[in-house]
Amino acid sequence: MKKIVIVSFIASSTLFSGSLSSTEITNMVAKIKEERVGISLFKLEGTSNPFIVKEKKKALVKEEIKEGIVPIIEIVYKVDAILNKAVFINKKWYKSGDKLGRYTVGYVSKNSVTLKSPNGNKTLKLEKKKKNFIKLKQGYR
């Protein structure tokens, strides 16, 4: 019996201790309605840019070009398909003689393509994809 009285006392005290009076609620709503002063535009302009990493990279490239140093950015070319001497590289079809960046598409074989440039040739191979087959059993028992 003592346990039931103690448990009910604790439960009722926790339920009613969290309730707010109407004056407390009115005061809280009044505080929410008050106009809040944010950061001034002057202070905001003086803050650092959170995206500084990308801007630094762009700034370095611009400075290098001004100084006569041209950075070499290597583009990754991926062969997705080859069909009738045409090759599908980076979501676009090319044939022998077409320009692809600083390269010219050369010989297209059934599983590779040669890209030519004054600095040297580059051979791209068609990536073999795994063939997924569904095995079906014939007949039911």
**Residue 121 domain flag:** yes
**Residue 42 domain flag:** no
Strand, coil or helix: 121: coil
Q: Which residues form the domain of 117?
A: 79-125
With vertex at residue 71, the alpha carbon angle to CA 68 and CA 77, rounded to the nearest 5 degrees, is 145
**Residue 109 domain flag:** yes
Is the CB of residue 73 less than 8 Å from the CB of residue 101? Answer: no
**Residue 3 domain flag:** no
pLDDT one-digit tens code per residue, 19-48: 778 898 899 889 888 887 777 777 777 777
Give per-residue burial for 32-70: e unless 16+ CB within 10 Å, then b. Answer: eeeeeeeeeeeeeeeeeeeeeeeeeeeeeeeeeeeeeee
pLDDT one-digit tens code per residue, 40-83: 777 777 777 666 554 445 555 556 566 666 666 677 888 888 88
**Residue 108 domain flag:** yes
Tokens linked to 77: 């070319």
> What's the Rg (C-alpha) of the chain?
35
pTM of this structure: 0.42
